[in-house]
Amino acid sequence: MNITLRQLRVFSAVARHLSFTRAAEELCLTQPAVSMQVKQLESQLDVSLFEHLGKKIYLTEMGREVYHYSRSVLQQLDELQGVLNSLKGLGKGKLKISVASTANYFIPVLLAGFCQRYPGVTVSLDVTNRETLLTQLAENEVDMVVMGQPPDDMDLGADPFMENPLVIVAPPEHPLAKDKKIPLQRLEQEVFLVREPGSGTRIAMERFFAQHDVHITTGMEVGSNEAIKQSVQAGLGLGLLSRDTVEMELALGRLVILNVSEFPIMRYWYVVHRQGKRLSMVAQTFKDYLLQESPSLLGKGEQKLPQARIREAHSA
């Protein structure tokens, strides 16, 4: 067998996306170049790695096995590179992180400060939903993720680094906009726009109202915070969002925060990675940067954060 790391990287990208086109975009290659690398790998292994059904591709049984081992090989190489960079110092290196879509309202500011401080570091950033974040953690595809409440049933280390209050927003002309201490039960007369099932914000919302025995009416199910903000401004219902996502709309007077009893729901942003993962010097430095400097860099002032929590998977 005379396979190359280039072939493994290209194959892994295609297998991850199940798309030659998206793999080519990620790797900055042409689609024919990607196809050629995969065909060469198949020739070296004497197996078919993909099967084509209509316009979609799927991994064969052999393909799934090769994908499993190729990810392991590439992860080991990335770890080796991280160790070597640590020995050389923090002059250069690579940081691979993923963040929840809501966190993208402040993460670019933090990354800008980090990159100015360490200009030799290359950052790979993925902004995605909670389900994908958990998959990336489970498969050890990233150094760390930034997300809301981590799950209890995964082997994770989670450190809170900033408050993440959830607030109820409405258009300025809403009848409740100027009321004070609105009772929770009053919200039963309103319609709420909600994120998709599995969203961290929606989970927190449903848990909170259930604990307070408040039964709300949900209208549209909306797949992004931006869509919820636009829909609230249009008068289609109320929204429950992270305060970090609505700062611009509040400043422009397009939305208001309702003064509701028991609100805001106080949550926190966490930096999360696999428990026991050996962080590179770059990754550890970025984690320390988040924990020590995020609130001050974003003008949040001192905050009372819960202790870091180490989460261990439940026994089978």
* Mean pLDDT score of the chain: 88
Task: Work out the pLDDT band at 191, boundaries 50, 70, 90.
Answer: very high
Token pair recorded at residue 200: 């961290």
- What is the rounded distance in angstroms from the CA atom of residue 160 to the CA atom of residue 308? 6
What would the pLDDT profile of 228-244 be if each residue is shown by its tens digit? Answer: 999 999 999 999 999 98
Token pair recorded at residue 289: 């940067």
> What whole-number percentage of the chain has pLDDT above 90?
58
What would the pLDDT profile of 199-210 be if each residue is shown by its tens digit? Answer: 888 888 999 999
Within 10 angstroms of residue 110's Cβ, the number of other Cβ atoms is: 21
Work out the average pLDDT over 3-29: 92
> What whole-number percentage of the chain has pLDDT above 70?
91
Q: Where are the alpha helices (DSSP H) in 197-301?
A: 200-211, 225-233, 247-252, 281-297
> What pLDDT does 310 receive?
46
Token pair recorded at residue 274: 């696999």
- What is the rounded distance in angstroms from the CA atom of residue 239 to the CA atom of residue 252? 17
Asked whether residue 313 carries a pLDDT value surpassing 50, the answer given is no
Give every CB contact of residue 12 below 8 A, 6+ residues apart in sequence.
67, 70, 71, 74
> What pLDDT does 118 receive?
87
What would the pLDDT profile of 141-166 be if each residue is shown by its tens digit? Answer: 899 999 988 888 888 999 999 888 99
- What is the rounded distance in angstroms from the CA atom of residue 314 to the CA atom of residue 132? 21
Q: What does R_g of the chain's alpha carbons equal in angstroms?
A: 23
Asked whether residue 316 carries a pLDDT value surpassing 90, the answer given is no
Within 10 angstroms of residue 9's Cβ, the number of other Cβ atoms is: 18
Work out the average pLDDT over 172-181: 94
pTM: 0.66
Work out the average pLDDT over 280-286: 89
Work out the average pLDDT over 250-254: 94
- What is the rounded distance in angstroms from the CA atom of residue 145 to the CA atom of residue 271? 6
> What pLDDT does 301 receive?
54
- What is the rounded distance in angstroms from the CA atom of residue 275 to the CA atom of residue 229? 36
- Contact (CB, 8 A) for 206 and 180: no
> What pLDDT does 77 receive?
84
> What pLDDT does 196 receive?
85
Q: What is the set of domains in the chain, with CATH numbers?
A: 5-70 (1.10.10.10), 73-162+268-311 (3.40.190.10), 164-267 (3.40.190.10)
Work out the average pLDDT over 68-80: 85
> What pLDDT does 49 receive?
95
- What is the rounded distance in angstroms from the CA atom of residue 245 to the CA atom of residue 106? 9
Q: Is 28 exposed, middle or buried (0-12, 13-18, 19+ CB in 10 A)?
A: exposed
